[in-house]
Amino acid sequence: MAKTRFAGINPAVITPFSDKGELDLIGLKANIKFYMDSGVHGLVINGSTGEAAALTREERVTIIKAAAEIAKGRLKIIAGTGASTTGHAVTFSRDAEEAGADAVLVITPFSVIPNKEGLYQYYKQISQAIKIPLIAYNLPQHTGVSLGAETLVRLVDEGLVAGIKDSSGNMSVMAQIVKEVGDKISVLTGADDLLLQSFVTGCSGAIIALANIAPKQTVQLYESVQRGNISEAKDMYFKLLPVAQSIISPENFPAQVKELVKLMGRPAGPCRSPILPVSTEERKNLARALEHAELVEKIKA
């Protein structure tokens, strides 16, 4: 498997839909251009924030091709390809490679709970089926499956993964990952509300929903830490924290992310059922978070 270092801010890109629930490719391309103009380092599509579970196989491929068309090789396209079964994940991963993705992001299985050996075999078979890098994805609060340190170290030692996105939200887990494999693979945080802590601990970057909303600001936060200017990074972190905290709940995700993007006047559309629109009260709270972060003027919510 090709070895590539993944770093910096990588938006976990939303998938815009029309009011009828169809793909909004014009909106998707507009958003990607906005992220790129904001200085992000890569793009992650068809992930949890992109409602991958609600996409057909054909839609996944269409989205990858659209993203690659806009990116034109200027930054890496990482495509989510995890599934409940190894066979489906292999199919999605091969599709992603053929469609132009630079790497795949593979969430642990969901709806099923494999043992350690089953989890290892899942990643091994996917990795061996493609030539592009594989980034493992740990999101136990959604999947019910945790990619433990023992299995991760085994995968790293055998050269089967190029990175890991940890969205456990547990800084102890994150610190252990950095300690065990941070010098061998890319360690990327998925914890929107723990960006500062993650970067200071040694994460090489982030794959975050927050970068849909504040791409420029999250890039500034990351770069401030890289320069050793923790005071500047802390100021930005506290400014963004209410927004980050508003999108970390797994319940009804990513409706909050899409509502924030809509409040900022960019394409988002509804989520696909059974994810519902946010309530009027939640919309008001989201608007206040944007105002606190100085991302918008006063919003009439």
Q: Tokens for 15?
A: 């998938």
Q: Which residue has the tokens 């642990």?
A: 108
Q: In angstroms, what is the C-alpha Rg of the chain?
A: 18
Name every residue whose Cβ is closer than 8 Å to that of residue 232 and which is 6 or more positions away in sequence: 224
Which position among 35, 120, 123, 165 bears the catalytic label? 165
**What Å distances lie between residue 286 and 50, 217, 243, CA to CA?**
19, 17, 7
Q: How many helices (H) and strands (E) does the chain have?
A: 13, 8
- Please say if 165 is a catalytic residue: yes
CA 178 from chain center: how many Å? 18
Contact between residue 254 and residue 271 where contact means Cβ atoms under 8 Å apart: yes
Phi/psi of residue 10, each to 5°? Answer: -125, 105
- Please say if 137 is a catalytic residue: yes
**Gap between the Cα atoms of 297 and 30, Å rounded:** 22
Any long-range contacts for 86-93 (C-beta under 8 Å, 24+ apart)?
86/121, 86/122, 86/125, 86/126, 89/122, 89/126, 90/125, 90/126, 90/129, 91/57, 92/57, 92/60, 93/126, 93/129, 93/130, 93/134
Question: Which segments of 165-279 does DSSP mark as H helices, in order?
Answer: 171-181, 195-201, 210-213, 215-226, 230-245, 255-263
Which position among 35, 122, 123, 137 bears the catalytic label? 137
**DSSP bridge pairs for 42:** 76
Per DSSP (E only), the strands in the chain are 8-11, 42-45, 76-80, 103-107, 134-138, 163-166, 186-189, 205-208
- Give the residue numbers marked as catalytic: 137, 165
